[in-house]
Amino acid sequence: MPKPTIIVHGGAGSIQPYIWQEFRDGSHAAAKVGQQVLDTGGQALDAAIAAVRYMEDDIAFNAGTGSALNREGTVECDALVMTDDLQCGAVASVLGVRNPVELARVVLEHTPHLLIVGEGAVRLARAHQLALCDPAEMIVERRLARYMQMVQTRADFEFDPEKDATDDVLPDAPSDTVGACALDSRGRLAVASSTGGMALKLPGRAGDTPIIGGGSYCGPAGAVSCTGHGEAAMRVCLAKYAYDLLVQGASAAEATRRAIDHLVASIDGRAGLILVDRAGNRAWATSTRRISIGIVESLPEDNHGFMPKAQP
């Protein structure tokens, strides 16, 4: 059996030097949380969820508490979990659910459905005694300040993903979505992803994160989690594209790189992805300026946990 392993991302975009350390620490800590689950015999799904839940509770990341604000100044979350037997659960546009990834798990384990949105998802969370709160409690100062800055400087009140994905003017958008891909000691694979979505999104907008094959996918060949401009990732089914390359015999590194090449060649999209294959090989790639990666082994000192457009 392969060695149990996990890879975590804390988002892709133009993450600025002043928050590198925070992202590095958060991504690494999350990877450790997941790896600990695996090292004590836990399942891949538990490990991926534990890592993502950790980042949902870390206000640095755009997931759970501390998420980016939508156009109306509200935190609205999306999440997905999936295992290699093609079992899946996802939620979109949920308000006031502290850990959306736990709600995605409820959808997987307790409903015959794959994706539940909005108020129905919140009711499901209540029925399963998940932690709920006033949605305002999930707004943190930094995101609120960013929101105010964005709305004040934009007469059209629109987020421009093509520009903002690469523009220092809005350094943290899109970015900071979180995801984890895990392989356990039984050779089982799982993915978990969670996001507050794009800043200034329309209420009710779902991104790639909760879309099977768009921003997340898992099957017998591997687990994939994407981050970046959700509309771009969805248009090329980015996660499934990378997965299919694995099925066709590509290595983990080739699959991530070729998927990003395809994204750029097709629509000049800005996104990144992480992947673990069934042998435990991990890889990542991005067409954004940076992607934040968490793995348990130490990364070279000079990259601080960020690997701009590079492979392990």
Instruction: Quote the least distance from Cβ 186 to ligand ASP, whole Å.
Output: 30
Q: How many residues bind ligand ASP (CB under 6 A)?
A: 16
Interface stretch with ligand ASP, choices 14-22, 115-123, 201-209, 293-301 (CB under 6 A): 201-209
Report the C-alpha gap between 91 and 207 in whole angstroms. Answer: 11
Instruction: Quote the least distance from Cβ 176 to ligand ASP, whole Å.
Output: 6
Indicate the residue among 188 and 201 with the shorter CB distance to ligand ASP.
Answer: 201
Interface stretch with ligand ASP, choices 46-54, 102-110, 208-216, 289-297 (CB under 6 A): 208-216
269 binds ligand ASP (CB under 6 A): no
Interacting residue with ligand ASP among 197, 213, 222, 305 (CB under 6 A): 197
Instruction: Quote the least distance from Cβ 172 to ligand ASP, whole Å.
Output: 9
Which residues, 49 to 68, sit near ligand ASP by CB under 6 A?
Answer: 62
Interacting residue with ligand ASP among 64, 207, 222, 269 (CB under 6 A): 207
Lateral strand order in the sheet of 5-13: 115-117, 88-94, 77-83, 189-195, 178-183, 5-13, 290-294
89 binds ligand ASP (CB under 6 A): no
Interface stretch with ligand ASP, choices 46-54, 149-157, 226-234, 241-249 (CB under 6 A): 226-234
Pick the closest to residue 272 from 287, 294, 289 (CA basis): 287
Interface stretch with ligand ASP, choices 18-26, 35-43, 205-213, 251-259 (CB under 6 A): 205-213
Instruction: Quote the least distance from Cβ 164 to ligand ASP, whole Å.
Output: 11
213 binds ligand ASP (CB under 6 A): no
Interacting residue with ligand ASP among 4, 10, 11, 96 (CB under 6 A): 11
Contact characters 141-180, ligand ASP, x per CB under 6 A: ---------------------------------xxxx---
b/e burial code for range 139-155 (CB count within 10 A of at least 16 → b): bbeebeebbeebeeeee
Instruction: Quote the least distance from Cβ 40 to ligand ASP, whole Å.
Output: 30
Tell me, yes or no, if 177 is annotated catalytic: yes
| Given 5, 177, 195, 209, the catalytic residue | 177
Instruction: Quote the least distance from Cβ 144 to ligand ASP, whole Å.
Output: 18
Handedness of CA 21, 52, 59, 260 (dihedral sign): positive
Active site residues: 177
Give me the residues that bind ligand ASP (CB under 6 A), please. 11, 62, 174-177, 195, 197-198, 207-209, 215, 227-228, 230
